């Protein structure tokens, strides 16, 4: 009798285990939560990069600093930004002038939410035309240091911002992405610096032409070799 009860107990236990296994296999698989955009099929556009909203001018003048904000002086801010915004990716166009030919220096810092983004040194009264210098150490990382001809409007842009400079209402608007200089007396020019710039430009031109000529000659030699093999 005890053996019969024990057998029935084992059988009942097997039935319960089988029922649990079937129930677990039929239970729904939990679904992991997905982002709202993925569930609806809507892709969220990436946020636009922040743009400059103020310019800080520092130099040897009363108070030593001036801040021009886009929200307060939109037109003047855009004018100042145009003086230096192209310098970030430009190739240097000139060598460093003699120290006594540079004139006063004004450091212009382009800011985004009061944090420095670009820094440049401007020399609006340099002999031979305005000059700009791009320091290697920039707030966003290192760049190749270099000197540039500034835009012809540099002096007026700084003056309108509050920098004490002499008015030059006759300046030509714009420039060549940079300035190309202004009318100055011959003795104010640095012949050595000018000759170095011209020589550097000619050297780059000759190297480019030489490379093109070499490619053409190699191509002709290859064609002649193929023709000769077929003949």
Tens digits of per-residue pLDDT, 78-105? 999 999 999 999 999 999 999 999 999 9
Query: Looking at residues 47-71, what average pLDDT do you find?
Result: 92
- Please tell me the distance from the alpha carbon of residue 153 to that of residue 75, in angstroms, as a whole number: 14
In a domain, 163, yes or no: yes
Within this chain, do residues 175 and 68 fall inside the same structural domain, yes or no?
Answer: yes
Greater pLDDT, 69 or 13: 69
Within this chain, do residues 175 and 201 fall inside the same structural domain, yes or no?
Answer: no
Greater pLDDT, 221 or 194: 221
Rounded (to 5) percent helix, strand, coil in the chain: 45, 15, 40
- Please tell me the distance from the alpha carbon of residue 74 to that of residue 126, in angstroms, as a whole number: 28
In a domain, 142, yes or no: yes
Query: Looking at residues 141-157, what average pLDDT do you find?
Result: 94
pLDDT score for 226: 78
Task: Give the domain range for residue 118.
Answer: 54-183
- Please tell me the distance from the alpha carbon of residue 154 to that of residue 132, in angstroms, as a whole number: 10
In a domain, 46, yes or no: no
pLDDT score for 204: 67
Within this chain, do residues 175 and 67 fall inside the same structural domain, yes or no?
Answer: yes
- The model carries a pTM of 0.58
Within this chain, do residues 65 and 160 fall inside the same structural domain, yes or no?
Answer: yes
């Amino acid at each position: 009798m005890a053996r019969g009860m024990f057998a029935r107990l084992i059988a009942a236990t097997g039935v319960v285990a089988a029922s649990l296994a079937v129930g677990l296999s039929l239970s729904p698989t939990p679904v992991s939560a997905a982002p709202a955009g993925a569930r609806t099929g809507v892709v969220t556009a990436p946020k636009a990069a922040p743009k400059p909203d103020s310019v800080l001018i520092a130099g040897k003048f009363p108070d030593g600093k001036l801040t021009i904000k886009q929200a307060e002086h939109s037109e003047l801010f855009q004018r100042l930004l145009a003086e230096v915004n192209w310098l970030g990716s430009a190739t240097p166009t000139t060598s460093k002038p003699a120290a006594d030919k540079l004139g006063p220096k004004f450091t212009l810092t382009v800011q985004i939410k009061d944090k420095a983004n670009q820094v440049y040194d401007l020399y609006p009264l340099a002999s031979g035309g305005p000059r700009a210098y791009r320091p290697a150490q920039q707030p966003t990382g290192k760049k190749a240091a270099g000197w540039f001809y500034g835009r012809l409007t540099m002096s007026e842009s700084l003056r309108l911002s509050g920098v004490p400079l002499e008015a030059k209402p006759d300046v030509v608007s714009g420039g060549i992405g940079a300035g190309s200089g202004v009318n100055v007396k011959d003795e104010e020019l640095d012949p050595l610096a000018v000759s170095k710039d011209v020589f550097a430009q000619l050297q780059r031109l000759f190297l480019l032409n030489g490379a093109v000529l070499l490619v053409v000659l190699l191509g002709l030699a290859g064609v002649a070799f193929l023709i000769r093999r077929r003949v």
